[in-house]
Structure formats: structure tokens, C-alpha cells
Structure 1
Amino acid sequence: MNKKLLSFMLAALIALLAACGDDGATAEDKNNEEKAKQEEASGEKASGEKAKMPEPDLEGVPEVVAKVNDEEIKKKEFTETYKSQFQQMAMQSQMTGKEVDQDKLKKQVAESLVGQTLLIQEANSRDFTVSEEEKNKKLEEIAKQQKLESKEKFLSKLEEQGMKEEEVMAQVEKQMKLEKLLAEEAGDLEPTEKEMKEAYEQMKKQQEKAGGESKSKVPSYEEAKPMIKQQLSGQKEAQAYQKLVEDLKKDADVKVNV
């Protein structure tokens, strides 16, 4: 299960913003793009030919990629997710020179979709309710993260990509039900002060070990604390989701066809 599972539903929405152009791209995306361009330019100089980005191989993918209990995961859903994951892997392969193992990636994506489906099925089986107020608050939070003025601006951006407000609200409701499911199953996932300090000391050692100027760039604990808290919370949440998926699989009827 991908560690980004903890926010996969909202991430799917946010990913659409990237298609709007550079304004929707993250700093990491831009950095990766720049590195890929530099690597490509280097390849051109060395060989006299433009380095080509690998293409996703979707030949032979069945119409029903997997079946989870009575629910089918269709080729269309798999393809959309696979292309997104492949694009990231392909960019890394341009920088590292290591070829993308597409067979392995297909299995990972299929398993990820199976896990997501199991979680959604379980969340829907419980009496979780999500109010309009909760959904609107969540959308405001996402808009803020994307540096947009309001949820209306966020919805407008998504509408430009062909996603209607009703679809967005349905996806947000699913994500919030998953959050309620996780809270009920895993309880408090807030990292302790001790855990954050231990993570800080580890980070500091890694930076000092790197040597050079990085030694003087180590931030204080208080400066690094918000980032460390977010990182540890994300790790705990991903681990809790993974455990829940593994437990659900034990009683589920799952068949993967890739």
C-alpha cells in the first residue's frame, strides 16, 4: 500500500489541479521536472539524440482488473491511477537511469486500489455521517493548501477539468468517512513529544553526517517541530490504514487479474 493512501481521495482531486499548468504544480513537482530536463539535456549532449520518456504499457490489462467482494475495479479506474503513478516513476527513471518495472508497478497499483476499495466498503457499512458543514470546512482546508482564495475557487478549477461539484462533494464525503473509520479503529495518532524529539535528533544526525554546509543549516527543534509532527502523523496514519486493510482482507473475497 502506498504511503500516500492516507489522503488518496483528496490527492486525486488535487492531482487534477496539476493539469491546469504550473500554478497547480507543487515545488517538488517543479524540482523533479527541472532535474529531468537537466538529465535530458545531458543525454542529448552525450548522444546527440533527445532522451525519450518511457511510455506506460497498458496492453493486456483486462476490463475487470480486480474484484473486491461484489465490487469490480474497472480498467478505466486502474488506467487513470496507473498513468499517474507511472509518470512519477518515469521521471525518476530519467534521473537514475533505472528502468521502470511496469509489471511490478501494475501489481502495486492494483493492490492499492483493492485496499482503497476495502476501506471504502467498510466505511460505508458503518453508520458514519458527514454533514454539509464538515464537507465545506474540508474543502476550505484543501483550497488553503492549494493557495486558492476559497473553496469556490477550488471547485471552479476542478470544474475546468470536467469534475462537477456533486462528484467532488461525493469524493470528499468518502474521504471523511475514511477518516472517521480510522479514528474509530486506530484512535489518537498524534505523535508524542518524545517521538518528535527522537525524530529531530535522527534528522540532525543525518544532516550533520552529510557534512559540508548542511551542518549550519540544521534548524532548531521548535522550527522543525511542525514538519516533524506532520511527517510522523502521516506515517502513523498510513500504518494504521495498512493494518486495517490487512485485517479486512482476511474476511474478504478478493481476486486480482493483473
Structure 2
Amino acid sequence: MAFPATARKRRLLAAAFIGSAALLSACGSGEDPADGAAESSAASEPAAGASESAAALPEPDLADIPEVVAVVNGTEIGRDIFTTTYEGQFQQAASSAQASGQELDQAQLRTTVADNLVSTELLRQEAEKRGIEASPEALTAATDKLLESSQLGSEEELRAAFAEQGLDDAAFDQQLSDQVKLDALIAEEAGDTAPTDQEIQDTYDAAVAQQESSGETATPIPPLEDVRAQIEEQLSGEKLSAAAQTLIAELREGADITVNL
């Protein structure tokens, strides 16, 4: 699905800002990877009236956001970074709420965004404490990922997109470096995240059994060999997420955190 340029740039900024904190919710969707593969072709097609639905989405409520949203061990998290991150997550949250027939709880979303920013700052500080560096190869790989997700054609276009949202080259380089360090920190904590053949088979079998028990067999789950890579990625992500959550819980125990929302 193609997004308008402005929305796409905001999503890019949000991805750079919140970084590995996204791992905190990676296991929370409850969607089996094999199930997701079965539905991917249908999901990729725009639903009738999609533009009308998008137009009906509420506006982000960012009134009364303080200049300093939070302070983590003496480091301030400002309103600008909070606002950009919130806007980057708002559209998806609002669309999901609309699809389920619920009203988006923006107060809860603001709390979640602030909490994720605090978690990201804790991880950033821990990476710095451990002396984790961002290698040129890792920086290049991170840039390539941003290019792929944004569907932009070059690093110059990517930097220009960020610049339009107020992130100059120096700030972009700093954010990218922080992201790489956070990824390295979580990988260090998680260790080997490659799933075993048995874990892959068990996940696939569970997805098949769940579909059969629900009776929703109109779109059968593809054969294991067709979704194996997707299952591997999902299981690896779950292990990274678990490691991130454990580390953040430990860091929060000894941290001085103030949230001003």
C-alpha cells in the first residue's frame, strides 16, 4: 500500500526515533506467521472505500504536551521528538481501532509512546555504557533498510525526506548511529536467536491447528516450505523482543525516570 509522501516521511522519522523499542510490541500482535502469509495477498489489495475511511480518521491530539515530556537519568526527552514519534504511530493505531469498530484511546497512545521513548533512552544509555560502537557496515545496512521501507531511491532522497521534517544530516547520522547501537545491544543480550527446526515445525503446526479449529479454511495456510522464512523471522523477532523486555525491566529498576504527561 502506498502512503502519501508526508505520512511516509513521518513514519520514517518515527522508525528512527523509537528504534529498538518497537521490539517491545513485536510479540503482542498474536498473529501466527503462517496465518499472516495466508492473508497477505488479500491484505495487499485496497478495500473498497479505503480513501473515505482514511479521511474519517481522527486528528492526532497533541494539545498540552509539555516542553519536556520525560527525564531519564538526567537526559531530557523533548516535545519535538515525542510529537514526531506520536504522529508516526498515530495513523496505524487509528486505522486499527477503526477496523475493529473501537474508538482510539489517544491518552493511552500518548502514554505508550512516552513509555517507549523512555525505554529507548534507557537502551541508548546502556549501549553507551558498554562502549558499543556503530560499524560502517552496520550503518550502511541500516540505511538500506530505511530505503527499502520508505521506497525511496537513494540515500540523498532519504536524507532530504528527513531534512524536510527538521532532521539535518548531523542529526540523521546521530539517530542512525544510535539505532545501530541499540540493535547491537539487543542482539548481544539475546545471543543466538535462530529458531530450531522443531520450533519452526511446532509454530507451523499450531497455526494449522488453530485454523482448523476455527473453521476458517477459505484461505488455507501455505505449505511449510513456502512460509518457513517468515516463521524464522517471527521467532527470531520474538527472542529479540523478550531479551529487550528483560533488559529494560532491569534498567528501569535502578533508573531515575520522570514522565510529565
Bin for the TM-score computed over the shorter chain? 0.7 to 0.9
Pick from 246, 255, 260 the counterpart of residue 257 of structure 1.
260
2:102 equivalent to 1:98: yes
- Give the corresponding residue for 2:31: none
- Give the corresponding residue for 2:234: 231
Q: Deviations over 1:193-242 (max 9, x none)?
A: 11111110011123334546536x32221211100001111111112111
Q: How far, CA to CA, are the matches of 2:63 and 2:248 in structure 1?
A: 29
Structure 1 residue runs without a partner (length 5+) = 1-7, 16-27, 42-49
Does the 8 A contact of 2:12 with 2:150 survive in 1?
A: no
- Give the corresponding residue for 1:130: 134
Instruction: Say which SS state the counterpart of residue 255 (structure 1) adopts.
Output: strand
CA gap of 1:72–1:14, structure 2 versus 1, over 3 A, is closer
Aligned partner of 1:94: which letter?
Q
Give the TM-score of the pair, scaled to structure 1.
0.75
Alignment identity in percent? 37
Q: How far, CA to CA, are the matches of 1:80 and 1:91 in structure 2?
A: 18
Q: Which residues in structure 2 correspond to 1:6-21 (within 5 Å)?
A: 12-13=15-16
Pick from 28, 49, 67 the counterpart of residue 37 of structure 1.
49
2:225 equivalent to 1:222: yes
Instruction: Say which SS state the counterpart of residue 196 (structure 1) adopts.
Output: helix
Aligned partner of 1:37: which letter?
G
CA gap of 1:141–1:107, structure 2 versus 1, over 3 A, is closer
Q: How far, CA to CA, are the matches of 2:179 and 2:250 in structure 1?
A: 20
Give the TM-score of the pair, scaled to structure 2.
0.74
- Give the corresponding residue for 1:65: 69
Structure 2 residue runs without a partner (length 5+) = 1-10, 19-39
Does the 8 A contact of 1:9 with 1:175 survive in 2?
A: no
CA gap of 1:104–1:76, structure 2 versus 1, over 3 A, is same
2:124 equivalent to 1:120: yes
Q: Which residues in structure 2 correspond to 1:44-83 (within 5 Å)?
A: 52-83=56-87
User: CA RMSD of the aligned region, Å?
Assistant: 3.3
- Give the corresponding residue for 2:32: none
Cα distance, 1:139 vs structure 2: 2.7
Aligned partner of 1:93: which letter?
A
Cα distance, 1:257 vs structure 2: 1.2
Q: Aligned pairs, how many?
A: 227
Aligned partner of 1:190: which letter?
A
Of the two structures, which has the highest relative contact order with CA contacts closer than 8 Å and spacing of 6 or more? 2
Q: How far, CA to CA, are the matches of 2:68 and 2:152 in structure 1?
A: 38
